[in-house]
Structure 1
Amino acid sequence: MTGAFNILRHNADRSIEWFSSIVMLNWAFILSLPGETMAVEGTFSEFNHYGIAEERLAVVLALVGAVRIVVLWINGRWPRGPLLRIGGCVVGAMIWGQVAWLMALGTIVDRGIVATGTGVYAMLAIAEILSIYKAAFDARYERGR
C-alpha cells in the first residue's frame, strides 16, 4: 500500500494530466468496440460532418494517451520531462477543445440544445491549459537546478 501511496503523492500535481490521458485511452477503447458509436444523431453529427472516422480517432487518441502516460511516468527522471509534458498538454487541450466544440455544434444544430458532455470536455481543455502552466513552472525549476 505504501508504494501506491507514494506514486499518488509524487504525481498529485500531475493528476489532471493522468486523468486526461486515461480518458483518451477510454475513448479510444470505446470507439474501437464493434458498432458505430459516433452514428448517434446530434452529439456526434459534426464529427461525421467533418469526416472524422471512428477508427482514425481511436488510433490518434490511443497513441496520444499512451505517449502521455509514458511521458508522465518518466517525468522527474529526465530533465526534459516537463517540456514533453507541455507538448502533451497542448495536444490534450486541442483535442478536448475540439471535442467540446464539435459536440456543442452537433447538439445545437440537431436538437437546439447543448449536451452536458460539451461542458465536461471544455473543462478538460481548460484543465489542460492550467497544466501547461504547471509543467512550465516545473521546466523552469529543472533549468535552475
Structure 2
Amino acid sequence: MLKKLKFPLIYILELALWFPLFAGFVTVVAFIGAEPIASLDLDGRSLPATWEAAVANHGKFLEGYLIANHPVAFGLGALLLVGSAAALYQVHKAMLFQRQSDGASRAMAHNIAHVCVGAAVLALGYIAVMNLFVGVSPV
C-alpha cells in the first residue's frame, strides 16, 4: 500500500509520523526517568505541589509520572512509540522501493525531499527542546 503513494506524499507521511514518535518518546521518558518528589534531594526547596514525580534535567526538573499510578498511560505511550517507529520503518522501506523504481531520473528530487524532511524534523526538534524541555528550578 505504501509503495503506491505518489512521490511527495511518502515524504509528507514520514514527516507526519515523526510527531507521534516524538510524543511517545516524551511520554515514555516522563515515566521511566521519573522519581517521586519525596525521594529527590531538593535542599529544602520545593517543586509544584501538583507534581507526583519529577525527571531531573540539567539541574532543573520536568514533570514526571509514576508507572504504578498510571500504568495505562505508560502502556499507551510505549505503544505509540513502538507503533510510530514500526510505521516509520515501513515508510522507509517504501521510500527505498520508490527511489529504486524511479531510477536516476528522479534521484535528485528524492534527495531534496529527504533533506527537506530532515531539516523540518531538526527544526521542530530544536523548537521542542528549547521550549518544552526547559524545566523548572526548585524554589
Tell me the TM-score normalised to structure 2 length: 0.35
Structure number with the bigger relative contact order (C-alpha 8 A, sep ≥ 6) is 2
Q: Which has the higher strand share?
A: 2
Specify which structure has the higher proportion of helix.
1
- Relative to the length of structure 1, the TM-score reads 0.34
Q: Which has the larger radius of gyration?
A: 2
